[in-house]
Structure 1
Amino acid sequence: MSNDDFFALPPFKPDEALLTLRRNLRDLRPLAERGGKPGLFELQGQPVLELSADEQGLHARLVKRPARSPEWEKRDCKNAAEVRRLHDEIKRRVGLWTDETP
């Protein structure tokens, strides 16, 4: 066994990361996960986030601003650090969207 194996990061498992992220996002009260389609989150009836996973990684579509026909941004996460950054960005945007005055 070489010393490099001791310090190797565990392999990234997109399916597990997706489940963990969905669970963490359910704690953000303004967000609601659509029951019929897992991974689709809404804010006040407007879709704001879509999550999916495959062998390559975790994929997210996040709106720039909630609207009837929103502009979507695509984010791909290939490791745990990118998933944490995505979670922080989602929390930041939800905070901005819910604190805005019309």
Structure 2
Amino acid sequence: MTDDFFAPPPFKAEEALAGLKRQLREWRLVEREGRFELQGRAIVELRLEGSAIHARTVRKLAMSPQWDETRLRSSADVRRFGDALQRQLAHWADRDD
């Protein structure tokens, strides 16, 4: 038997990026020039870097945002990123109500 029997499948960054972009559009974010916007303000940037996804998110909604950067190198990273972003969007929506 091989030792990698329980290893996760290889990460396919292109497919994961397409799925993440689809998810962001489902959340009603507008894609413009490689950025996803909420209420006309950029909140997420995604781009492919080799076998990973380079993701930038804003700390708070602002006209001149400060960005946090992260590398998504696995499906688990993509899920965590999506979950965290969804929580942040819910927080911003609650603040606006």
TM-score (norm 2): 0.90
Amino acid at match of 1:51: L
Do 2:12 and 2:51's aligned partners in 1 also have CA atoms closer than 8 Å?
no
Do 2:30 and 2:37's aligned partners in 1 also have CA atoms closer than 8 Å?
yes
Q: How does 1:1-102 map to 2 (within 5 A)?
A: 2-29=1-28, 31-34=29-32, 37-38=33-34, 40-101=35-96
Aligned residues: 97
Q: Secondary structure at the match of 1:11?
A: coil
CA-CA distance at 1:4 after TM superposition: 2.2
In percent, how many aligned pairs have the same letter?
A: 44
Do 2:16 and 2:78's aligned partners in 1 also have CA atoms closer than 8 Å?
yes
CA-CA distance at 1:20 after TM superposition: 0.6
Looking at structure 2, the residues matched to 82 and 18 of structure 1 have their Cα atoms a distance apart, in angstroms, of 12
CA-CA distance at 1:10 after TM superposition: 1.1
Amino acid at match of 2:26: D
Stretches of structure 2 lacking an aligned partner (at least 5 in a row):
none
Looking at structure 1, the residues matched to 27 and 64 of structure 2 have their Cα atoms a distance apart, in angstroms, of 23
Q: Which runs of 4+ in 1 moved over 4 A?
A: none
- Cα distance, 1:101–1:5 mapped onto 2, change above 3 Å: closer
Looking at structure 2, the residues matched to 8 and 70 of structure 1 have their Cα atoms a distance apart, in angstroms, of 39
Stretches of structure 1 lacking an aligned partner (at least 5 in a row):
none
Q: Indicate the RMSD between aligned Cα atoms, in angstroms.
A: 1.5
Q: Secondary structure at the match of 1:89?
A: helix
CA-CA distance at 1:56 after TM superposition: 3.6
